[in-house]
Amino acid sequence: MGAIQDRLIDAARVRERRGTVRATRITPGTGDSAGAGAGAGAGAFDGPLDLASNDYLGLSTDSRVKAAAIAATERFGTGARASRVVTGTLSVHDDLERALSELTGQPAALVFSSGYAANLGILTALGGPDTLLLMDEHIHASLVDAARLSRSSIVTIPHSNLAVLHDLLANRTQTRAIVVVESIYSVLGDTANLHDAAALCATHDALLVVDEAHGVGVLGAGRGGVYAAGLAGAEHVVVTATLSKALGAQGGAVLGSSMLREHLVNTARSFIFDTGLAPAPAAAAAAASRIILAEPARVDALHLVASLIASSCGVDRAAGPVQSIRVGSPDIAVRVTERLREAGILVGCFRPPSVPDGISRLRLTAHADTDHARLLWASALITAMLTESPS
């Protein structure tokens, strides 16, 4: 174990020197005053102001979503107990898949235990030696890992560069091609041109895979970027999604044709060899899906808060909930994040290697239920701290 131990020590020293040390820290939940304080400007609110989590629509604490999770636990127990292809498929999974299909306008859905597993499943099941994967350079790490496992030829495309995409599709030698993008990219918060990307894929007999982790519950009145682009149900467009962001639960899904679903059930290793999603998050996500359809005003409230964050912090408005502030070095990002935490404000701290362009950022995430007055107080404090710590 000497060589391995030496590697751990060396890697820890490198992280410390670069200011990229990460840690798991207990974060107080709703109504929990432990941990970070409320802050001097927070007024009568309990606990910290959350500008960091992915619960965009506040559905993880919605009474109807929690009731659905509790009822599913009482009925089915705490776990699925087996793979979905053995005895782990329950009626709650079928209900969730129907709810997701209705929300996104897709013909069929297959639920995985996480968004990461869903992305692994789709690319490894469809890829292979005679497949070309064309990946936007800003795609999520789960898709990068999936591509590496797929045994496909991989080409990384400059971010949102449709001209390069056209040339690569037109001149490929592989029989099959899969283009992989995100409807909303997590770091910059910009959107993909799904309409034109899908048109290129249709022209050149390619499949477009769209990761809607940040799009479902946000774009298209909550129905996602693919739906908003008029591409729901298109045979050459596949959606992957997580259930842990706007839906306030946990799990992941691939949405597309019934034939695709059947193929994944039989070939996606991250589905076949994994225990099914637990009943509680499955029921919660189904309930959340139906709430989004019935209450589009939640999505409007989310975008209002996102616009307020951008304007009060002096940054360009990103299309999604996450608004980013460039802060220069990782050290500054960490220092400001810690000071904000002490003041009762939780923000995201993005730094290498999590950022594709190597630029450290504070990530301020909008939530539909954020108090506007408290947000303006936080924005003023963030601006003051960044002024004291210039990049």
Q: Which helix (H) or strand (E) holds 110?
A: strand 108-112
Residue positions annotated with a catalytic role: 54, 140, 182, 186, 211, 214, 245
Q: Higher pLDDT residue, 20 or 64?
A: 64
pLDDT at 127: 97
Instruction: Please give the Cα distance from 389 to 334 (Å, whole number).
Output: 11
Query: By the 8 A CB rule, do 209 and 118 touch?
Result: no
pTM comes to 0.92
Q: Which domains does the chain have, with CATH numbers?
A: 23-52+296-388 (3.90.1150.10), 63-294 (3.40.640.10)
Place of tokens 């959606």: 239
Q: How many CB atoms lie within 10 A of CB 205?
A: 12
Query: By the 8 A CB rule, do 232 and 195 touch?
Result: no
Instruction: Please give the Cα distance from 223 to 207 (Å, whole number).
Output: 21
pLDDT at 354: 65
Report how far apart the first and last C-alpha atoms of the chain are (Å, whole number). 41
pLDDT at 44: 47
Lowest mean pLDDT of 43-47, 245-249, 251-255, 306-310, name the range. Answer: 43-47
pLDDT at 391: 52
Q: Could you give the maximum distance between any two Cα atoms of the chain, in Å?
A: 64
Give yes or no for residue 38 having a pLDDT over 60: no
Give yes or no for residue 39 having a pLDDT over 60: no
Q: Higher pLDDT residue, 265 or 388?
A: 265
106-153 pLDDT, tens per residue?
999 999 999 999 999 999 999 999 999 999 999 999 999 999 999 999
The burial of 137, by beta-carbon neighbours within 10 Å (0-12 exposed, 13-18 middle, 19 or more buried), is given as middle
Buried/exposed 287-314: b ≥16 CB within 10 Å, e otherwise: bbbbbbeebeebbebbbebbebbbebbe
Query: What's the pLDDT band for 31 if we cut at 50, 70, 90?
Result: very low
Q: Higher pLDDT residue, 306 or 25?
A: 306
Instruction: Please give the Cα distance from 273 to 261 (Å, whole number).
Output: 16
pLDDT at 37: 45
pLDDT at 387: 87
272-314 pLDDT, tens per residue?
999 999 999 999 999 999 999 999 999 999 999 999 999 999 9
Can you give the C-alpha Rg of the chain in angstroms? 21
Span 80-96, average pLDDT: 98
327-372 pLDDT, tens per residue?
878 888 889 999 999 999 999 988 776 666 668 889 999 999 999 9
